[in-house]
């Protein structure tokens, strides 16, 4: 399998390479791709040194699969060019997510939708992925009527510049600012840009992408997304109103049986999900499972996951694994 990683020198691209190696993805030829200013850099993968190439050269090499994590504008311009030469693109940006012609995939939920004809596949937003992994089995059994979401999101979701800002503030150094305010010892209710109605783009992603992935636009969803000074992953407090009655013990059992989920819900021993322990892991961790005493058929969950892994790199690699396992990658284009 000839695999390209587009954005290989970035934060998510680096994690993608780690995940490909850890999961022993069948890479027969690796193509590392980045911007012109990064072309020529050398990166190690499985004890071998690879030289980073530019996008134009990578297209000519006709990879079977291209994992994109290079931003929306790059994806809009270059993903179709890769698709034209037969490459299956799995894109981590927001560029293709809400396009009705492109599938938005979380493998535990809807990988079965994929076909050979899907040449540009969208990877959902990190905060959406971890939430819907937990919600999908519950929606199937009980029917979700409404969601009230509050997120506590890692600075790593913003990128390297945000990590450096936090480090500089911790060390009391001057430096570039990724955010309009200090993030150290602070919480910013401002993830991505503000849109009409006072919601941020991140908050609206949780609404729109959840509707698409669960294939149910009737679910009422409202969200508040907050950036906090942690690096291990995103945390979410999710209040769920179901159409039908449930028992908390049945909910816990259903989550324990669902793929990709680890239940950490032992309050007697102070066991619950935290980003500190989610860092570097691929599962979605769910805890604080309890009935909402103020509203009928309602439940509270606390959901945590490493946003760079399951929220980005791992989910993309899992999509690629599904394509390979079901023989859906075919590059028969003659050029």
Q: Three-state SS across the chain?
A: CEEEEECCCCHHHHHHHHHHHHCCCCCCEEEEECCCCCCCCEEEECCEEEECECHHHHHHCCCCEEEECCCHHHHHHHHHHHHHCCCEEEECCCCCCCCCCCCECCHHHHHHHCCCCCCEEECCCHHHHHHHHHHHHHHHHHCEEEEEEEEEECHHHCCHHHHHHHHHHHCCCCCCCCCCCCCCCCCECCCCCECCCCCEHHHHHHHHHHHHHHCCCCCEEEEEEEECCCCCCEEEEEEEEECCCCCHHHHHHHHHHCCCEEECCEHHHCECCCHHHHCCCCCEEEEEEEECCCCCCEEEEEEEECCCHHHHHHHHHHHHHHHHHCCCCCCCCCC
The catalytically annotated residue of 191, 234, 245, 326 is 234
| Catalytic (active site) residue 211 | no
Cα(77)–Cα(163) distance, rounded to whole angstroms?
28
191 is catalytic: no
Q: Which residue numbers are catalytic?
A: 126, 234
């Amino acid at each position: 399998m000839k695999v390209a990683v587009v954005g290989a020198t970035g934060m998510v691209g680096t994690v993608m390479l780690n995940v490909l190696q850890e999961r022993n993805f069948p890479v027969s030829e690796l193509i590392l791709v980045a911007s012109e200013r990064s072309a020529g850099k050398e990166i190690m993968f499985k004890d071998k040194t690879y030289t980073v190439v530019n996008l134009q050269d990578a297209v000519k090499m006709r990879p079977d699969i291209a994992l994109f994590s290079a931003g929306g504008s790059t994806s809009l311009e270059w993903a179709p060019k890769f698709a034209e030469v037969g490459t299956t693109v799995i894109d981590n940006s927001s560029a293709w997510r809400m396009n009705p012609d492109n599938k938005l995939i979380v493998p535990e939920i809807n990988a079965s939708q994929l076909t050979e004809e899907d040449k540009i596949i969208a990877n959902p937003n990190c905060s959406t992925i971890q939430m819907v992994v937990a919600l999908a089995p519950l929606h199937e059994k009980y029917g979700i009527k409404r969601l009230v979401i509050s997120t506590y999101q890692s600075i790593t979701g913003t990128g390297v510049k945000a990590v450096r800002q936090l480090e500089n503030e911790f060390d009391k150094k001057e430096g570039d600012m990724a955010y309009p305010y200090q993030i150290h010892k602070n919480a910013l209710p401002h993830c991505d840009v503000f849109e009409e109605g006072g919601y941020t783009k991140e908050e609206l992603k949780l609404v729109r992408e959840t509707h698409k992935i669960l294939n149910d636009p009737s679910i009422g969803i409202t969200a508040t997304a907050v950036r906090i000074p942690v690096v291990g992953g995103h945390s979410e407090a999710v209040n769920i109103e179901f159409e039908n009655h449930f028992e908390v013990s049945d909910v816990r059992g259903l989550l324990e049986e669902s793929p990709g989920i680890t239940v950490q819900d032992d309050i007697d021993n102070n066991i619950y999900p935290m980003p500190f322990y989610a860092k570097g892991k691929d599962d979605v961790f769910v805890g604080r499972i309890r009935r909402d005493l103020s509203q009928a058929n309602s439940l509270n969950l606390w959901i945590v996951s490493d946003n760079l892994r399951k929220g980005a790199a791992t989910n993309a690699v899992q999509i690629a694994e599904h394509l390979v396992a079901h023989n859906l990658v075919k590059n028969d284009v003659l050029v």
